Structure 1
Amino acid sequence: MKILKQTINIKTCLGCVVVQAEEEDDMYHLYNLINVGDAVEATTVRNVVNESKSGARDKSRIMTKITIQVENIDFDSEQCTLRLKGMSIKENEHLKLGQYHTLTLELNRPCEITKEHWDSLHLEALADMAEPTKKADLAVLTMQEGLANLCLVKAALTKTCAKIERSLPKKRQQGNQAYDTALSKFFSDIYESVQKNINFEVIKVILVGSPGFLKDDFLQYLLDRAVRDECTSLLKNKSKFVKAHTSSGHKRAIEEMLSDPAVSAMVGEAKAADEVRALQTFYDTLAADPDRACYGLSQVTSADEQLAVADLLITDTLCRSSDFAQRSRYVQLIDSVRSNGGKVFQFSSLHCTGEQLNLYTGIAATLRFPLPDIAEEEEEEQVESEADTDEGGDFDVDYDDLQSNF
């Protein structure tokens, strides 16, 4: 990502930036940066109808620069495209003031983003965009008999490059020719997908996981085929393939592999591994010492007020809240945890780890010391809130109890 211009007043938090996405992953960073209500200016294609004096209508597509106030944001994680819908706030000869248009942000074309308030998370996102070391990637191949998923695990999202499916006959006995033939074709499909989708100049590690010995059989097939095909790129990079055990070949097995400390150490340069380690620490703590782990905004905020948060885990979905007051609460919590010496891990909702964290409300914390009363405090607050709501309001009558009293 190139930051071409940045004029943000730190005191007033007003200003704008001009950025240019250079690769697909940059679109995700823009998705995290742009909020509903922002003004975005970019070059776009617009259909224009010209009418001559004779009444003839001529349609054409022209390039024009427009500025909209964003009302809807749509990000396609598979295609890595970002579409912004909103109302025009600057009139030009092809678009009237107040007309709606959908901007599709494209690679290598600059766009200008103006906000009424740039908070610390926005500024952090800009810093991440400009940091080239954030681009460390790894590839993951999960497989089981008849199913394989080849994915790129980037700094912020997991992108499926290929899903390979092939029906295999049951292996009733050794030397089953039909099974061996089908398995060979299945391996061939995976081999071709690896060649097509893996750039060995960028990828540092290719994790291969499966139940049983399927991964071992495939890697042996891959090396034998590479020798036969004289595929030097595969042979030169065979040391990058790392085996790991998984319970299935589904995409969710990625987290299972990265949770293994030995595997995690091998891919330590990939940012996703840091989030996986933090999430696994939270899981382990919650199971072994539940008083040193909590989740939900109320509990985590209470823990932070007591200077107890060691690791804060939060999904980008919460940080992108269109509710300014709600977003401000999360930003203040993040800033407070950091100022108190805690670590903050922001999880992408498009990554398998983010999906797992969403099962725990999207926000959780591992604590420095036990807080056994934190859950009880929240329950007392809920009871008091319900009592205040019921006071002076409607009440329910249990007619069975009434009848039993007569």
Structure 2
Amino acid sequence: MNQRDTVKILPEEPDDVWFVYNLISPGDVIIATTTRNVKYSSRVRLSLEISITGVNYHRDSSTLRVHGTTLNTNQHVKKGLFHTVEIELNKEFEIYKEVWDKLSIEKLRLGFKNAAGADLAVVLLQPTGFAQVYLVVARQTKLCARVETHSNPNKYFENIFRAFVKHVDRSVVRCVVIGSEGNAKDEFRRFMIAEANRLKVKSVENNKQLIVVFNTRNKGRDGNFSLHEALHDGTVMNLIKDTKAVMEIKAFKEFSDLLTTDLDRVCYGAKNVEMAHELKAIETLLITDDCMIV
């Protein structure tokens, strides 16, 4: 935050866009670059300051459409005109608030903490021909990359390793879990350590991080393995017990167990959760992208 009370933000993940949606409010000012059709030209790039009147979140495309009136004037846009700016991944912009209250500042701190605080990474090599790289933190799980298979196994491993290095903060992550059926997990573990040593990648070098490999067993309807299985494997749970994500994992495991052993103690969906809240009957509340679980 600078002297003008503005914050510069660059969304890099879909969750970052959702974070911005919860941060901005009507009356705030957004400063962003956009394009506009003009006479005698195709499109020109403009820097606009817009006083926000409304925001629409589009989950499928991970974008925000911010509506409002322009505060600055240039040769193509006059002050006071209604305009819409689209906030999307890898597009930098600024937010200005007259007053940054305690709640907004706490949202900022939490957003930055979650972005940098994931200390558990998971790599799943799926049997249907792709790999997934996840980051797990106490309050959220992010799918950072999906890597398609390659006819050359070394090229496939190289692409996964590049995605891992790009998205995983090796100075923070304490444990890496690699799962697959067969020997792919062991082969990728050896490749990752050898490649890290060759490139002198910090923290992965000389296996300074705990790297856990496990055999995936239970396939879903799509023929692939779930992150849920990786995080609830008994051996994995024991080895990742010191990471921040464990509390969330244990809470979800308890929910899964209750579904089969004591269904009357579990409810999900907004309506049922609201009723449980009114009755002050909530012991643990889990929130996902699609629903609430108690």
TM over 0.5: yes
Counterpart in the other structure of 2:22: 33
Deviation at 1:292, TM superposition (A): 1.8
> In structure 2, what is the Cα distance between the partners aligned to 1:296 and 1:145?
32
Deviation at 1:314, TM superposition (A): 2.4
Secondary structure at the counterpart of residue 110 of structure 2: helix
Secondary structure at the counterpart of residue 285 of structure 2: strand
- Per-residue CA deviations over 1:340-372 (Å, capped at 9, x if unaligned) read xxxxxxxxx2xxxxxxxx4xxx1221xxxxxxx
**Partner of residue 148 from structure 2, selected from 146, 164, 170:** 164
- Per-residue CA deviations over 1:165-224 (Å, capped at 9, x if unaligned) read 24xxxxxxxxxxxxxxx6xx324421343145325334332211012443224334555x
**Partner of residue 44 from structure 1, selected from 32, 52, 72:** 32
Q: Which runs of 5+ in 1 are unaligned?
A: 7-16, 167-181, 316-348, 350-357, 366-406
Secondary structure at the counterpart of residue 153 of structure 2: helix
- Per-residue CA deviations over 1:73-98 (Å, capped at 9, x if unaligned) read 24678xxx743332326464424534
**Partner of residue 267 from structure 2, selected from 262, 286, 294:** 294
Kindly provide the amino acid, as one letter, of the partner of residue 216 in structure 1.
Answer: D
Q: Kindly indicate whether residue 210 of structure 2 is the aligned counterpart of residue 240 of structure 1.
A: yes
Number of residue pairs matched? Answer: 279
> In structure 1, what is the Cα distance between the partners aligned to 2:41 and 2:155?
55
Secondary structure at the counterpart of residue 278 of structure 1: helix
Q: Kindly indicate whether residue 104 of structure 2 is the aligned counterpart of residue 104 of structure 1.
A: no
Deviation at 1:157, TM superposition (A): 4.5
1:163-312 → structure 2 map (5 Å cutoff) = 163-166=147-150, 185-195=152-162, 197-198=164-165, 199=168, 200-223=170-193, 226=195, 230-233=198-201, 234-237=204-207, 239-247=209-217, 248=219, 253-264=226-237, 266-267=239-240, 272-312=245-285
1:5-44 → structure 2 map (5 Å cutoff) = 18-21=6-9, 24=12, 27-28=16-17, 30-34=19-23, 38-44=26-32
> In structure 2, what is the Cα distance between the partners aligned to 1:62 and 1:138?
41
8 Å Cα contact 1:32/1:125 also seen in 2: no
> In structure 2, what is the Cα distance between the partners aligned to 1:305 and 1:101?
39
Kindly provide the amino acid, as one letter, of the partner of residue 290 in structure 1.
Answer: L
8 Å Cα contact 1:88/1:100 also seen in 2: yes
Secondary structure at the counterpart of residue 260 of structure 2: helix
Kindly provide the amino acid, as one letter, of the partner of residue 313 in structure 1.
Answer: L
- Per-residue CA deviations over 1:382-401 (Å, capped at 9, x if unaligned) read xxxxxxxxxxxxxxxxxxxx
Q: Pick the structure with more helix per residue.
A: 1
8 Å Cα contact 2:147/2:159 also seen in 1: no
- Per-residue CA deviations over 1:289-345 (Å, capped at 9, x if unaligned) read 122222234433443344432101223xxxxxxxxxxxxxxxxxxxxxxxxxxxxxx
Kindly provide the amino acid, as one letter, of the partner of residue 275 in structure 1.
Answer: E
Counterpart in the other structure of 1:329: none
Secondary structure at the counterpart of residue 308 of structure 1: coil
TM-score, normalised with respect to structure 2: 0.71
> In structure 2, what is the Cα distance between the partners aligned to 1:109 and 1:240?
38
> In structure 1, what is the Cα distance between the partners aligned to 2:64 and 2:270?
30
Percent identity over the alignment is: 20
1:80-99 → structure 2 map (5 Å cutoff) = 82-88=63-69, 90=71, 92-93=73-74, 94-99=77-82
1:337-348 → structure 2 map (5 Å cutoff) = none
1:282 and 1:114, CA in 2 relative to 1: closer, same or farther beyond 3 A?
farther
Deviation at 1:254, TM superposition (A): 1.5
Counterpart in the other structure of 2:45: 61
8 Å Cα contact 1:84/1:103 also seen in 2: yes
1:107 and 1:277, CA in 2 relative to 1: closer, same or farther beyond 3 A?
farther
1:232 and 1:296, CA in 2 relative to 1: closer, same or farther beyond 3 A?
closer
TM-score, normalised with respect to structure 1: 0.55
